[in-house]
Structures are given as C-alpha cells and as structure tokens.
C-alpha cells in the first residue's frame, strides 16, 4: 500500500527510543525524511543512523520540549536542516511521582503539563501556518488510555486528557484547511528503557503475573511496532478522512466503550 508521503518532512519528539523511535522508523520506511528530538546526543545519533539506513534524510536535535524556548529552537533547527515540517508527531511525555490531588505539589502538576501538553501545544502552533499555507499537514499526538479513563496519577491523566481535547479541537477547526490532527492512546506497551520494562524488572514475577492476569486480556504486554505503524498510517494520504479521532492501541486493556 502506497501511503503517498514519500519526500515529506516529519518531526518526532522523543524519537530516539521507544514509541517515538518506532514511529520515526515507520515514517522513514514510507520515504519520509525524519527529524527526531531527544535529550541525549548519543541515543539520537544511533537512531539517526538507523533512519538513514532506510534511505532517507534524518537529523537529531537535542531538546527538552517541556522547556518552550527549547522546543522553538528545535523546530527552527529542523526547518533549517530538512525544510518545513509536514508531519508532527508529539510523542515526548511521561509522568512524575505523585498520586492524588492532596499529595501532588503544584510544581509537579505544572511540570507534567509542560512535558505532556504545553511543549506539544507550542510545536503545533509553530507548524500550523505552513501546513495551512500548503493545505496539507498531519499532527499525531501520543497520549494514553489514562487520558480517556481513570488511571495513573492525577497529573499524568489530567495532562493526557487535555492533550486529547486540544487535538480534537484542532482537528475540527482546521479540517477545512487540510490539516488533520489525531491522537493515539497506547496501553501498557513494553519497550527498551520504558516504564513497563522497568515495572517488569523491578517487581517479583508473581506481581508482574498478577498485573498481566488482571489487566491485559492478551496475556502479555503490548509492543511498540503497532503504534509506530499507526502513526505512519494517520500521517498518510490513506487517512485523509480521519481527524479529531483518538485511537486506542491497548490489546483490549481499557474499559471505555467509546
């Protein structure tokens, strides 16, 4: 199947490892020139090498997207290196130790929003004008099943829910301009250096087995390739009627009916 995006330029935040890396690899497999951002030059360089091996142009940018000036600088570096961004994948995110409203500091809450929402919001604002001008653009935001239903700590679930709402609003209001916005909500996906890999290594086997039995209908943790391939599909010409959607990739883990 030809996705019709060969030669486009993509920016994937948090793209040096995990879900972001697999999204970048899937896009590169479709002939997309891919820029990735991350916090560690060595990891970025390794992934950029893998992307270039697929025959596309690629660049790695050291950036902390939770810091808005850093996000803006990263965007400029990408445009200077590869050209205007046609496809934005906001993948960088994560939680901070907290639990309830009562025991979460405002600094913790704000920091989680900076990482999961405000950096993504800033990058969306930066790429939208060119996408509108060319009447074509794709934004895919990686959220979580815990942005759709109860789960996780208060700061993380709140930030992910806000990102889903922001994406829905953008998808509706910019549909007429040919700029499509969607979210992907993964469940418990295990990948190298990820939180679910740490969960499995840090807990006794019986705790891990109980979690799988009680939460994962497939009897195992998810894996990142389906998320990466869905990113490429949503970025493609084949998905040109899909906008404002939130698609779950969780092996049946979540409880929501909608």
Q: Would the pTM count as exceeding 0.75?
A: yes
Specify the pLDDT at position 63. 96
- Determine the pLDDT at residue 69: 95
CA distances from 78 to 30, 64, 223 (A): 19, 14, 29
pLDDT at position 95 is: 80
Helix (H, G, I), strand (E, B) or coil at 106: helix
Per-residue pLDDT at 10 = 98
Confirm or reject CATH 3.40.50.720 for domain 9-189+224-249, answering yes or no. yes
Residue with tokens 């992907």: 184
Res 159: pLDDT: 97
Q: Kindly provide the b/e burial profile for residues 187-208, where b requires at least 16 CB atoms within 10 angstroms of the residue's own CB.
A: bbbbbeebebeeebeeeeeeeb
Catalytic residue list contains 156: yes
Q: Tens of pLDDT along 204-215?
A: 889 989 999 999
What is the pLDDT at residue 192?
81
Q: With a cut of 70, list the residues of the chain below it in pLDDT.
A: none
d(CA 153, CA 156): 6
The three-point CA angle 4-47-140 to 5° equals 45
Average pLDDT, the chain: 95
Q: Which residues fall within 8 angstroms of residue 200, CB to CB, at 6 or more apart?
A: 190, 208, 221
What 3-state class would DSSP assign to 43? helix
List helix spans (H) across 114-224.
119-134, 154-173, 195-202, 205-215
183: left (phi over 0), alpha (psi -120 to 50) or beta: beta
Please pick, among 109, 146, 150, 156, the residue that the annotation labels catalytic.
156
Q: What is the pLDDT of residue 199?
A: 79
Secondary structure element (H or E) that encloses residue 64, with its range:
none
* Parallel, antiparallel or unpaired: strands 87-90 and 58-62: unpaired
pLDDT score of 200: 85
Q: What is the pLDDT of residues 87-143, one digit of tens each?
A: 999 999 988 777 789 999 999 999 999 999 999 999 999 999 999 999 999 999 999
């Amino acid at each position: 199947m030809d996705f019709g995006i060969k030669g486009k330029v993509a920016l994937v935040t948090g793209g040096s490892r995990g879900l972001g890396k697999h999204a970048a690899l899937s896009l590169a497999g479709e002939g997309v020139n891919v820029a990735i951002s991350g916090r560690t030059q060595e990891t970025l360089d390794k992934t950029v090498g893998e992307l270039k091996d697929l025959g596309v142009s690629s660049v790695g940018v050291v950036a902390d997207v939770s810091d808005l000036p850093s996000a803006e600088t990263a965007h400029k570096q990408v445009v200077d290196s590869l050209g205007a961004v046609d496809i934005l994948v906001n993948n960088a995110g994560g939680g901070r130790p907290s639990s309830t409203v009562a025991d979460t500091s405002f600094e913790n809450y704000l920091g989680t929003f900076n990482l999961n929402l405000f950096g993504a919001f800033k990058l969306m604002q930066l790429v939208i004008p060119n996408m509108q001008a060319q009447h074509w653009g794709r934004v895919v935001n990686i959220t979580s099943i815990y942005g759709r239903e109860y789960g996780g700590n208060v700061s993380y679930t709140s930030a992910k829910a806000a990102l889903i709402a922001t994406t829905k609003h953008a998808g509706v209001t910019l549909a007429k301009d040919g700029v499509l916005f969607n979210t992907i909500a993964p469940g418990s996906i295990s990948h190298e250096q990820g939180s679910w890999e740490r969960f499995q290594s840090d807990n006794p086997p019986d705790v891990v087995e109980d979690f799988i039995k009680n939460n994962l209908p497939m009897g195992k943790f998810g894996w990142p390739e389906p998320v990466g391939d869905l990113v490429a599909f949503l970025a493609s010409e084949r998905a040109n009627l899909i906008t404002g959607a939130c698609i779950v990739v969780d092996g049946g883990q979540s409880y929501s009916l909608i």
